[in-house]
Amino acid sequence: MPEESLDQINFDKLNEKAISSPLVKHIYTADPSAHYYNGKIYIYPSHDIDAGEAFDDLGSHFAMEDYHVLSMDSIDSPAVDHGIALHVNDVPWAERQMWAPDAAYKGGKYYLFFPAKAHDGIFRIGVAVSDSPTGPFTPQPQAIKNSFSIDPAVFEDEDGSFYMYFGGLWGGQLQRWRNGSFNGKEPESPTAHLPNDDEMALMPKIAKMTDDLLEFAEKPKDALIIDENGNPLLAGDNKRRFFEAAWLHKYKGKYYFSYSTGDTHFICYAVGDNPYGPFTYKGRILEPVVGWTTHHSICKVDEKWYLFYHDSSLSKGVTHLRCVKIAEIEHLSDGTIKTLKPYRD
């Protein structure tokens, strides 16, 4: 789907075949992180805008400036936009590109975790706090110490521990941190410093959070994704290896780590026995959508599980102008997840 010429796509027919419709149409939204707080659904998406930036593989055209929070009374209710929850101008350390966020709740406070490029052009991850799930959120004056790259996803385990998963290739800069510090050489290349195809793939990062959720309690480490033989996925295995969009949910005592494969446009998943992994690759949750990117979250609502995702159907295929959607997913009796096609045949 992402590789098709837009001239070949009849968007009226595509939307008729879509398994779900955009949650909101008055703004462009993407990268939805969904949570179920106090009997209500809250969605923390990116807010897409057209800032006139040139299209490139560094993602310069994804020039988002703020976050809105959406809420739904039930899975079938209309989504309500609660307006700007946080703007880049309110974040002292951040300059631009407010990419995919996530949220968490603890001790009566709501936490918004977000990546942004600092004034030195390096992606960091910040946190902002509110008394309300819809904000407004007050940012911390500095980014999380030792944070880097993009796409934070914060998971609360049953023992009350919180873990952040993060990372993204190409424009997400994960490959520039291979040696523990930022490699600024070849700044215009999205693929410089990637491992060779026959080397181990770059893995998402995990770090346990401090009790106040404002910092890492440990140095980030790899969340290993392995194949059925126990071997780490290779960098050239781009239909299965991690690219971006980390997410974790727990089902029947197992930890399901899901993610985007980026340039091959799948949402895949791997399963482990603890939050650190290793996670064994199991398959795909979602086939490619229209638009280059794919990004998701998984949330349980009233004993059913739902995939929150996006495509570019609302903008008729403009990659950086996307719309958030919902589809129910099914965990099968063997622990696998049934693969969804975003558009019916």
- The 10s digit of each residue's pLDDT in 11-28 is 999 999 999 999 999 999
pLDDT digits (tens, 9 = 90+) for 191-242: 999 999 999 999 999 999 999 999 999 999 999 999 999 999 999 999 999 9
With cut-offs at 50, 70 and 90, classify the pLDDT of residue 55. Answer: confident
Residue 39's identity, in one-letter code, is G
pLDDT digits (tens, 9 = 90+) for 301-339: 999 999 999 999 999 999 999 999 999 999 999 999 999
How many CB atoms are located within 10 Å of the residue 192 CB? 13
- Residue pair 49/63 in contact by the 8 Å Cβ criterion: yes
Tokens of 26: 């008055």
Query: Torsion-angle region of residue 228: left (phi > 0), alpha (psi -120 to 50) or beta?
Result: alpha
Give me the percent of the chain exceeding a pLDDT of 90: 94
Residues 128-137 have a mean pLDDT of 98
Length of the chain: 345
Instruction: List domains and CATH numbers for the chain.
Output: 6-338 (2.115.10.20)
2 pLDDT higher than 90:
no
Residue 31 a catalytic site member:
yes
Which position among 48, 102, 151, 244 bears the catalytic label? 244
How many CB atoms are located within 10 Å of the residue 135 CB? 22
- Residue pair 209/217 in contact by the 8 Å Cβ criterion: yes
Which position among 31, 48, 151, 311 bears the catalytic label? 31
Residue ranges of alpha helices (H) inside 43-185 are none
With cut-offs at 50, 70 and 90, classify the pLDDT of residue 277. Answer: very high
The verdict on whether omega for the bond into residue 278 sits within 30 degrees of 0, i.e. cis, is: yes
4 pLDDT higher than 70:
no
Burial 95-121 (b: 16+ CB within 10 A, else e): ebbbbbbbbbeeeeebbbbbbbbbeee
Give the DSSP letter string of 24-78.
-SSSEEEEEEEEEETTEEEEEEEEE----PPP-TT-TT----EEEEEEESSTTSP
Residue 72 and residue 70: Cα distance in Å, rounded? Answer: 7
Instruction: Give the model's pLDDT for residue 44.
Output: 98
How many CB atoms are located within 10 Å of the residue 292 CB? 20
Burial of 93 (0-12, 13-18, 19+ CB in 10 A): middle
Non-local CB neighbours of 187 within 8 Å, separated by 6+ positions = 121
Beta strands 109-118; 102-106: pairing state:
antiparallel
Residue 53 a catalytic site member:
no
The distance from CA 77 to its chain's CA centroid, rounded to whole angstroms, is 24
Q: In what order do the strands lie in the sheet with 40-48?
A: 28-37, 40-48, 66-72, 80-87
